[in-house]
A and B are shown apart, each in its own frame.
Chain A
Amino acid sequence: MSEAPRPSRMRAQGARVRGVLGSWDVIVLLAVVAVAVVGSLSIDGVSSPRFWRFVTLEAVPILLIALPMTLVVITGEIDLSVASVLGLSCTVLGKLWASGVTSLPLLIAACLVLGGLLGAVNGLFITGFGLPSLAVTIGTLAMYRGLAYVVLGDKAVADYPASWTTSAIKPIHGTTIPWVILVVAALAIVFGVVLHATPVGRGLYAIGNNAEAARFAGISVRLTKFWLFVATGAMSALAGVFWTLRFASARADNGTGIELAVVAAVLLGGVSIFGGRGGLLGVLAAVALLGVLRNALQLADVPANTLTIITGSLLIASVVGPNVAGRLRERLRRRRPIAPTLSHTT
């Protein structure tokens, strides 16, 4: 076995990971604050409660999907079918409503079950047949969206009771903040605890870093991944319910393309696309950053194309940033005098 050099290089990388990713959450959070402060001072309307209400409502579906997506990406997989699951869930909700199902809890339950099943199909192909998740979910991205059109065609179902649609966007009493953010917050706590403070979460990081070693430690890699895809499907369907009620419209093209917004937030939040690294706090901050930035710039009349370019640049920066910062850190560290030996404690 080789000893000194390989570990030393790894040691440098280890320091990079600890030093940069450990504080990456903080960097993204500071960026949110900076954008909010600069925006409030320089752009009319950013400081208004209406702006924040709108940003929050727009972030809700992204957050709902980003929660399970974070876990999926940490295990080294990805799910690109989420927006189509959202769309299909919208149309099924609309169709059921139009055909006489009038109980909202029943409709929500039906959507969750549907989303879980769609996620299970993804999971089955990926873990059962060992196919790459990128390929499988690009396939189901097209397939589920197609099914959405089969269910509802070009029509929209929009005649929901006003009480439903207002309840989706109702503010918390005495504020302008929509109450659904509390639901999202509760779910975020659940996902955060699972990821960071349970045996399951420890297993997810092990799987993402080295699935074989995880298997040798008794972790059921395939089963774990399967259930993550089921959870992602269910959460995407829940996002679909919110989408339908918020816009009072179930259409087959609801939420087209938001998988990219979700993946962008997950990566910008510091989760490694190769798996094994990152945390939920960074992802939450990244959703906020992208949302605030986009809406503030929209208020400043920045054209949509420019917005897309900015989002893309941020994403690249998030991938390049930790590397550059790590190299700088490494260079600084080397300038320091060299200690004679490694301290031996424990």
Chain B
Amino acid sequence: MPPPLLALSGVSKSFGAVAALRDVRLELYAGEAHALIGENGAGKSTLVKILAGVHAPDEGTVTLDGRPLVLRGPADARDAGIAVIYQEPTLFPDLSVAENIFMGRQPLRGLRRVDRARMRAMAAELFERLGVRLDPDRPARGLSIADQQLVEIAKAISLDARVLVMDEPTAALSGVEVDRLFAVARSVRDAGAAVLFISHRFDEVFALCERITVMRDGQWISTDPAAELTVDQAVRRMVGREVSTLFPKQQTTVGDPRLEVRGLTRHGVFADVGFTVRAGEIVALAGLVGAGRSEVSRAVFGVDRYDAGEVLVDGRRLPNGDTGAAIRAGLALVPEDRRQQGLVMELSVERNATLPRRWSLSWGGLLLGGAERRSAATWTQALRVKAARLADPVSTLSGGNQQKVVLAKWLATSPRVLIVDEPTRGIDIGTKAEVHRLLSQLAADGVAVLMVSSELPEVLGMADRVLVMHEGRLAADIPRDRADEESVMLAATGQAGRA
């Protein structure tokens, strides 16, 4: 075997008292895709940031082509040929795609003017090479996250990147978009670059990668050829323990309708959406990214207004666009974007965990005598949130624990209807199982659960009924015993009539 293109050995990194990486090794070979897997907090992203030049390792060495490599900043990493694609790329929204690719190094013609024609041709050629259909002239604003990532990859190629690092690029992508991204990643790999791919989804890891490295608690655990590793083994190594079944949906007795949505329409976003969720039922809302699922749940919860239709909780109509009234009626929404919508990152765990129910904790309008602390302690313990102190900013917790705080803050309101939007996105497999158990338990206790999810196994494993949206409309309503990957995907891609 040839020597590795890029190698890390004995790398350690601490942030204050927290050791994020301890004695980690990693070897990337040219022309090979390498997966890095591990639970949240395993140190994957710290490792990525070291490769990106954002963090310098406290100990250990990074070598490129066998020569030691010192990265003093992102510019050094770029010059060394290391490109990092993040989950949510940051393009300049008002510049064209081509300008984004060649920002800071545009081809010039006389009098130092930007040679737009050449820049456009160069961008078009890049997309050609990647097999992607993107107009170099269109502004970056409005590009889907998947397309934005492709622009970033094109930029990396144009910089002759030899190492392409992709940090959970697929978390926000639909199935079709993932396939396209993988095709591009394979062509980059086949051109001789080393690809490092980070994901929580095993099917993707095994589909793309030749070699798999597992990390746990900041330490290197194993590196194996993908062909010699099973999913079970990988999971055991990631969590360091056996994981009970992932989707423990209990049989429940379905009760009265709790949430009724009738003819809900928001012009240009979704139209004539109607469904019912009964007590004790978990209803999944599936579909491709952009089908309007999150938008419907936001409108139901009153964060956005709708143009027509009505929303009823326990038979009583909710006012349009009034989140406060929705919460008082017993509705709760665990939103899609934990950092921007679910939590106030700078505030403490305690403040976040009590925010929606702070009125019910007050006495004559006053919050006194540690009522908030007791409520926060009760609910964070119930959900087994790992936090050093409740007074710590919630931003100091890992992603999975942050999601538990979001759940805690809504469960504390004793909701009658719980809407969860991508409840397990970007959280580790152990926490995922806990969240699934919790949702199942809530349904068993008579809560009506509406679950928006892009993960088919989750949808099929958890839901009593699967609603599928396609381009803003409800395309199918499939009961549990008839729901399978094929029926859901057909409806989601608009190839099935109303089932």
- A residues in contact (CB < 8 Å) with B: 1-15, 17-18, 193, 197-199, 202-203, 205-206, 209-210, 212-220, 276-277, 330, 333-334, 336, 338-346
Contacts and interface: CB of A to CB of B under 8 A. Distances in A.
Contacts of A342: 17-18, 388
B345 A344 contact: no
A5 B396 contact: no
Given A214-B344, A346-B377, A346-B380, A3 B168 contact: no
12 contacts: A3-B41, A7-B397, A12-B16, A14-B396, A197-B368, A198-B367, A209-B345, A210-B344, A213-B342, A220-B324, A339-B17, A344-B386
B186 to A, nearest CB: 25
Given A220-B323, A346-B377, 6 more contacts: A8-B16, A9-B15, A11-B18, A15-B16, A203-B358, A276-B347
Contact of A5 (B49, B333, B335): B49
B218 interface: yes
Contact of A198 (B344, B365, B389): B365
Nearest to B359: A199
Nearest first, the 3 A-B pairs at minimum CB distance are A8-B15, A1-B426, A10-B395
B45 A210 contact: no
A221 to B, nearest CB: 10
Contact of B341 (A206, A213, A334, A344): A213
Contact of B87 (A1, A13, A210, A219): A1
A3 B388 contact: no
A342 B389 CA distance: 11
B395 A3 contact: no
Nearest to A11: B396
Contacts of A199: 358-359, 361-362, 365, 367
Interface string B1-36: 000000000000011111111000000000000000
A182 B111 CA distance: 71
A344 B396 CA distance: 13
A8 B43 CA distance: 11
Contacts of A209: 344-347
B390 A346 contact: yes
**Considering residues A7, A15, A218, A277, which has the most beta carbons from chain B within 10 angstroms of its beta carbon?**
A218
Contact of A1 (B16, B40, B368): B40
Given A197-B368, A213-B340, A346-B380, A10 B396 contact: yes
Nearest to A223: B324
A200 to B, nearest CB: 8
Contacts of A6: 45, 395
Contact of B167 (A2, A8, A17, A212): A2
A15 B168 CA distance: 29
Contacts of B361: 199
B168 to A, nearest CB: 7
Contacts of A340: 19
A218 B168 CA distance: 31
Nearest to B391: A18
Contacts of B18: 4, 8, 11, 341-342
Interface in B325-374: 326-327, 333, 335, 338, 340-347, 351, 354-356, 358-359, 361-362, 365-368
Interface residues of B, number: 75
B63 interface: no
A29 B126 CA distance: 62
A1 B342 contact: no
B312 interface: no
A24 to B, nearest CB: 16
Nearest to A338: B14
A330 B40 CA distance: 25
B303 interface: yes
A218 B356 contact: yes
Given A12-B15, A197-B367, A342-B388, A216 B335 contact: yes
A2 B426 CA distance: 8
B401 to A, nearest CB: 9
A94 to B, nearest CB: 38
Nearest to A337: B17
A213 B324 contact: no
A234 to B, nearest CB: 20
Contact of A197 (B15, B44, B366): B366
Contact of A14 (B21, B392, B425): B392
Contacts of A193: 366
Nearest to A1: B426
Contacts of A276: 346-347
A232 B217 CA distance: 51
A21 B340 CA distance: 24
Given A12-B15, A218-B326, A346-B380, A4 B41 contact: yes
B393 interface: yes
Contact of B399 (A1, A8, A202, A338): A1
A2 B40 CA distance: 8
A202 B399 CA distance: 24
A18 B396 CA distance: 13
Given A4-B45, A8-B16, A340-B19, A198 B362 contact: yes
Given A17-B393, A202-B355, A209-B346, A4 B43 contact: yes
A35 to B, nearest CB: 32
Contacts of B385: 346
Nearest to A341: B19
Nearest to B358: A199
B57 to A, nearest CB: 12
B149 interface: no
Contacts of A330: 16
A343 to B, nearest CB: 6
B323 A3 contact: no
B55 interface: yes
B387 interface: yes
Contacts of A12: 15-16
Interface in B153-174: 167-168, 171
Contacts of A277: 346
**Considering residues B42, B43, B343, B346, which has the most beta carbons from chain A within 10 angstroms of its beta carbon?**
B346
A212 B218 contact: no
Interface string B90-105: 0000000000000000
B46 interface: yes
A24 B392 CA distance: 18
Given A1-B87, A202-B358, A216 B368 contact: no
A171 B18 CA distance: 58
Contact of A213 (B19, B344, B386, B397): B344
B276 interface: no
B393 to A, nearest CB: 4
Contacts of B377: 346
B134 interface: no
Given A4-B218, A5-B20, A210-B340, A216 B323 contact: yes
